[in-house]
Amino acid sequence: MSNEQINSATDAFARLYGGAPDVIVRSPGRVNIAGEHTDYLGGLCLPMAIDLSLIVAAARGARAGRGVTIASSIYPELAPCEVAPVQGGAYARLGALLAVLAERLGNAGDGRVNADIAANIYIGGDLPVGAGLSSSAAFTVGVLTALDALHDWKLADDDVIAIAIEAEHRAGAPCGWMDPAAVLFGSEGCAVFLDCFNEEHSLVPIDTGAYSFVVIDSGVGRDLADGRYAALRAAMESAAAELAKLDKRIEHPRFLDFAAYMSGRERLPDWATPYLDHYYLENERVKATIKAFEYGNIPRAGALMLDAHASALENLKNGCPETDWIVENLCRDDACAGARVTGAGFGGAVIALVETARAADVCGAVVAEGSARFARAMRWTRVAPARGAELIG
Ligand code: GLA
């Protein structure tokens, strides 16, 4: 995040609201290296916060009692608009977030937030929105961190995550624990290992050696609230419920390890096994990926990414022609150790490990050819593991 981005957000804030912000928060996006569609079933995943972020500049609302006024260079409404709890539209997540906060702070009822929440907010930064890099968790965690600092609530990390998740669910995106946890717990040079059953995290140092992480935005925008993610999650949950029909002690899929799953697998209905195969193998791949990074074996980490991508396509059917094409074509070049779609799927971004010296050539060529072939504005960028959401001013 350059000083330029921060200055431009504070300048825009001053132009709109006529004064300097009281607080500035940097809230990063995330990519997931391993473990997709595991978090909401209490599985394992290995995301990292990245060095593309939203900047949230905020000050106590001048008009106490009149809600949160927000404006942004990266969301559709440029003019400041006042958001009330449960408002829809571009700021649906903010409306939902305010509703959750209002309830938690005991202010629900009149359709407006009270002075304890009121704030003027401006959102800037360089994180693309709707590109599969979890701009929505960056938004909710960033706004919460700013409001927390403004109003001195001293929210615990668990509260921030729980409020962010509840807001997403109310806004129609029934997401799991991964995104807000990655955005909050990220650390420079590290991925964040998440055990979503125990809600525990630990940092995994990541040294990619001669390789770099790159993100290729397929240009296929998507919103977690469009219904496809919810449908896939529901199918995964129904599949998990089949386990308890085999043995009522298996109340949760994490009560089985991979070997135990494999030994009972044949007794499950055919429709359920693709979802559960993905889940159990994906958890194993997370552990194997951590080992690969521990040993500095980047080709192995890349191969695991490719396996995961193939599993998602075959078992979860959450691919799309653009991202599939990008993965296939990147991996034609030996400079690419591996690639996969990151996040929910159905479009969004591909993450890959590519030799740093050849990244511009390889990614540039794929992006140029892919953009022409699909008439999409594909883009690529290098990303590095970065710190989680933090107050920077
Ligand atoms: C989205 C959700 C996450 C997770 C991923 C898939 O990013 O927000 O909670 O379920 O999809 O792994």
pLDDT tens per residue across span 265-316? 999 999 999 999 999 999 999 999 999 999 999 999 999 999 999 999 999 9
Cα distance between residue 292 and residue 92, in whole Å: 40
Q: Is the pLDDT of residue 11 over 80?
A: yes
Is residue 107's pLDDT more than 70? no
Instruction: Flag the least confident range among 19-28, 223-232, 287-296, 356-365.
Output: 223-232
Cα 255 to Cα 251: distance, rounded to the nearest angstrom: 7
Per-residue pLDDT band for 361 (boundaries 50, 70, 90) equals: very high
Q: What is the pLDDT of residues 64-93, one digit of tens each?
A: 455 788 888 887 555 677 787 777 777 888
Listed by start position, the domains of the chain span: 3-205, 211-383
In this predicted structure, what is the pLDDT of residue 76? Answer: 59
| Higher-confidence position of 97 and 307 | 307
pLDDT at 24 over 50: yes
Residue 55, pLDDT > 80, answer yes
- Ligand 1: atom nearest CA of 134 is 7
What superfamily does domain 211-383 belong to in CATH?
A: GHMP kinase, C-terminal domain (3.30.70.890)
Q: Ligand 1: distance of its center to the CA of 373 in Å? A: 28
Q: Averaged over 9-23, what is the pLDDT?
A: 92
Task: Tell me if 47 CB under 6 Å of ligand 1.
Answer: no
Q: HEC states along the chain? A: CCHHHHHHHHHHHHHHHCCCCCEEEEEEEEEEEECCCCHHHCCEEEEEEEEEEEEEEEEECCCCCCCEEEEECCCCCCCCEEECCCCCHHHHHHHHHHHHHHHHCCCCCCCCCCCCCCEEEEEEECCCCCCCCCHHHHHHHHHHHHHHHHHCCCCCHHHHHHHHHHHHHHCCCCCCCHHHHHHHHCECCEEEEEECCCCEEEEEECCCCCEEEEEEECCCCCCHHHCHHHHHHHHHHHHHHHHHHHCCCCCCHHHCCHHHHHHHHHHCCCCCHHHHHHHHHHHHHHHHHHHHHHCCCHHHHHHHHHHHHHHHHHHHCCCCHHHHHHHHHHCCCCCEEEEEEECCCCCCEEEEEEEHHHHHHHHHHHHHHHHHHHCCCCEEEEECECCCCEECC
Q: What's the mean pLDDT in 10-22?
A: 92
| Atom number, ligand 1, closest to the C-alpha of residue 132 | 7
Is there an atom of ligand 1 within 6 Å of 344 CB? yes
Q: What percent of the chain has pLDDT over 90?
A: 77
Percent of the chain topping pLDDT 70 = 94
For the CA of 229, the nearest atom of ligand 1: 11
- What distance in angstroms lies between residue 176's CA and the mean position of ligand 1's atoms? 6
What is the amino acid identity at position 344? A
Q: How far is the CA of 264 from the centre of ligand 1 (A)?
A: 27
Average per-residue pLDDT in the chain? Answer: 92
pLDDT (average), residues 313-332: 97
Q: Is 175 in the pocket of ligand 1 (CB under 6 A)?
A: yes
Between the CA of 254 and the centroid of ligand 1 the distance, in Å, is 18
38 alpha carbon to ligand 1 midpoint, in Å? 8
Q: In the structure, what pLDDT confidence band is assigned to residue 13 with cuts at 50, 70 and 90?
A: very high
> What pLDDT is stored for residue 350 in this prediction?
97
> What is this structure's pTM?
0.94
pLDDT of res. 115: 46
Predicted confidence at residue 42, as pLDDT, reads 98
Architecture of domain 3-205: 2-Layer Sandwich (3.30)
Condensed to tens digits (0 to 9), the pLDDT of residues 147-200 reads 999 988 889 999 999 999 999 999 989 999 999 999 999 999 999 999 999 999
Specify the residue with its C-alpha closest to ligand 1, atom 7.
343
Give the pLDDT score at 35.
Answer: 98
Per-residue pLDDT reduced to its tens digit, 220-249? 987 777 889 999 999 999 999 999 999 999
Q: What is the CA radius of gyration of the chain?
A: 21
